[in-house]
């Protein structure tokens, strides 16, 4: 038996979404994590194999090891067992992934989603997407302190999502806004890898520090990114017949979003160069996607380009 989870692309709104603005993400189904489930010998506990990383983990009891790779594979299993309230089963799970690591395409959340699904299937108590999503969020929290929740949501439900983070305060509890939406007018994106890996938690922390140091200026950048995201959604959802302007409008919004992400210090020379090269080759717009300072760029292109 096998479980899966896709990669993801943030179309608009990364970083600002951590601070309460909306963002749009789509699943990237061409790259995926798969988790294959096989029974293991009695008393063997859970074994997680990641042959591409040359890693074999034997999980027999509770563990508090604080290693990132260990956490990426073991923590989802621990969370799944805790949610199901069951002792360690005997099972072997083999994880394979075509999603590049630390490159803004959601590799961590996809590994967690596929692993937690695998544990549920192994003990014949499969998770629904609604029960899985908060568990993957919990894993994300361990990896990078203050995730907005958009990555786990788009990866678990595997559909385009307009997302706004909720807030919890003493006076108000606002849940996340998760609005799946239709892409009325399909469009083509080129995804290009800068070849630099960049852990999301570092750029998220740095943007948080910028905001604390200068809340007025950085808050205004977040607000502008939020406005771009709302305009992008309206453009993507516009009725057929108005689509002639889709590429022009969406491309300009991507360019502006990228410029604002540069101001938030999360671009890099390589990402700027990829965006410029894409535009020079005829793309209607381009931006970094995800945490930034590496990872991937997306460009809006017509299929003939």
Q: Is 15 or 48 the residue whose CB approaches ligand MEV more closely?
A: 15
Q: In this complex, which beta carbon is closest to ligand MEV, that of residue 106 or of residue 251?
A: 106
CB of 17 to ligand MEV, least distance (A): 5
Q: Is the dihedral of CA 13, 15, 20, 26 positive or negative?
A: positive
d(CA 1, CA 97): 16
Nearer to ligand MEV, 251 or 292 (CB): 292
Q: Using CB under 6 A as the criterion, which residues of the chain lie in contact with ligand MEV when the complex forms?
A: 10, 14-15, 17-18, 104, 147-148, 150-151, 200, 204, 290-291
Give 11 or 119: the residue with its C-beta nearer to ligand MEV.
11
Q: Give the whole-angstrom CA distance, residue 151 versus residue 136.
A: 9
Is 47 or 107 the residue whose CB approaches ligand MEV more closely?
A: 107
In the complex, minimum distance from the CB of residue 298 to ligand MEV, in angstroms, rounded to a whole number: 12
CB of 289 to ligand MEV, least distance (A): 8
What's the half-sphere exposure (Cβ side, CA atoms, 13 Å) at 31? 19
* Residue 146, C-beta contacts closer than 8 angstroms, at least 6 positions apart: 18, 204, 208
As measured in angstroms, the least distance from the Cβ of 16 to ligand MEV is 8
Position with the least CB separation from ligand MEV? 148
The least distance separating ligand MEV from the CB of residue 198, rounded to whole angstroms, comes to 10
Distance CA 167, CA 143 (A): 20
Task: Find the Cα–Cα–Cα–Cα dihedral 255, 257, 139, 7, rounded to 10°.
Answer: -20
CA distance 296 to 224: 22
């Amino acid at each position: 038996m096998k479980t899966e989870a896709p990669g993801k692309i943030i179309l608009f709104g990364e970083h600002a979404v951590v601070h309460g603005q909306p963002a749009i993400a789509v699943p990237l189904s061409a790259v995926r994590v798969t988790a294959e489930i096989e029974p293991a010998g009695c008393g063997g506990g859970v074994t997680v194999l990641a042959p591409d990383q040359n890693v074999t983990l034997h999980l027999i009891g509770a563990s508090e090891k604080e290693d990132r790779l260990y956490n990426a594979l073991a923590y989802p299993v621990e969370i799944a067992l805790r949610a199901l309230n069951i002792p360690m089963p005997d099972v072997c799970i083999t994880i394979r992934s075509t999603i590049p690591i630390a490159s803004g395409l959601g590799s961590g959340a996809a590994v967690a989603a596929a692993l937690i699904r695998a544990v549920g299937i192994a003990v014949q108590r499969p998770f629904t997407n609604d029960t899985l999503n908060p568990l993957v969020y919990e894993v994300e929290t361990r990896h990078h302190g203050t995730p907005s929740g958009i990555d786990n949501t788009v990866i678990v439900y595997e559909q385009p999502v307009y997302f706004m983070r909720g807030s919890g305060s003493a006076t108000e509890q606002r849940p996340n806004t998760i609005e799946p939406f239709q892409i009325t007018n399909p469009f083509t994106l080129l995804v290009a890898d800068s070849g630099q890996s960049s852990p999301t938690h570092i750029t998220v922390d740095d943007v948080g520090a910028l905001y604390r140091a200068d809340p007025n200026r950085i808050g205004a950048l977040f607000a502008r990114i939020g406005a771009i995201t709302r305009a992008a959604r309206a453009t993507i959802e516009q009725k057929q017949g108005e689509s002639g302007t889709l590429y022009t409008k969406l491309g300009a919004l991507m360019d502006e979003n990228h410029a604002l992400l540069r101001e938030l210090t999360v671009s890099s020379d390589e990402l700027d160069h990829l965006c410029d090269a894409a535009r020079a080759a005829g793309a209607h717009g381009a931006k970094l996607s995800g945490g930034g300072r590496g990872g991937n760029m997306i460009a809006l292109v017509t299929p003939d380009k």
